[in-house]
Amino acid sequence: MKIETDGLVIREQAVRESDKVITVLTGDRGVITAYAAGAKNIKNSKCAATSLLTYSQFNLYKGHERYTVDDAHSKELFIDMRTDIDKLSLAQYFCELAAVVVPEGENSKEILRLALNSLYLLNKGSRPNEFLKAVFELRLMALCGFMPNLICCAECGCYEHEQMRFYPDDGTLLCGDCAGITKKHSIITGMGATTAMRHCIYAEFDKLFAFSLSESSLPVFERAAEEFTLAQLGRGFKTLDFYKMIKT
Ligand SMILES: [Zn+2]
């Protein structure tokens, strides 16, 4: 069966002399793996379009066991961020995270849109890397079934509290007055980071990146999003470790 789809290459593995196996985040069938014969050869027309972090149009053949790339044309290469090691390593973390949480075979239009928008802004450099990282993590997790409950304090229902705390293991909030009921690990997200996290989860997609927060809230926002992601998935990521290592 022949299929035409657009997708972002989120993993690229060399096989044999000149072939590649690529993992692609598509808009209509989730994350798929496809075999690209000859694509390792730089003279091959599929070479650039099947490279990591490239958004391409694919003509695929779907066999019984796997997809094969008949033809591919790149639509966006995100060139600028490729020479910035911080941005490139963060983009690779986005890819690894998507490869883990996005299921195969499901409509994933909004997830693809999230990934492309995050990479577009990262490439452009108009928002801090830490900001994009937290927005991407929280929205992706919510889209993939890991939805935190950030509406109000899980105990008393209060919406605003200067000492609002976020519990990464549960994905819940407790206000400063109720925090004493548990000894579980929490982060004091206050109103700045709490409001930012709420926006990432509940805002309409068109407005997702259209907010800002204070310089002092940004590290808290970033830490809370990351801890939530790792706690929910119960694992770490090599690309995240690398990103953090080169940052320090
Ligand atoms: Zn409370």
Whether pLDDT at 248 is above 80: no
Going from the Cα of 223 to the center of ligand 1, the distance in angstroms, rounded, reads 22
Q: Convert the pLDDT of each residue in 131-140 to its tens digit.
A: 999 999 999 9
d(CA 167, CA 6): 37
d(CA 120, CA 166): 29
Nearest to 12 by CA among 43, 35, 45, 41: 35
Going from the Cα of 113 to the center of ligand 1, the distance in angstroms, rounded, reads 36
CATH numbers and ranges of domains, the chain:
2-76 (2.40.50.140), 83-148+164-247 (1.20.1440)
pLDDT of residue 167: 98
Going from the Cα of 166 to the center of ligand 1, the distance in angstroms, rounded, reads 12
Going from the Cα of 170 to the center of ligand 1, the distance in angstroms, rounded, reads 15
Q: How many CB atoms lie within 10 A of CB 156?
A: 12
Going from the Cα of 193 to the center of ligand 1, the distance in angstroms, rounded, reads 17
Q: Convert the pLDDT of each residue in 35-76 to its tens digit.
A: 999 999 988 889 999 999 999 999 999 998 889 999 999 999
Going from the Cα of 164 to the center of ligand 1, the distance in angstroms, rounded, reads 8
Going from the Cα of 152 to the center of ligand 1, the distance in angstroms, rounded, reads 8
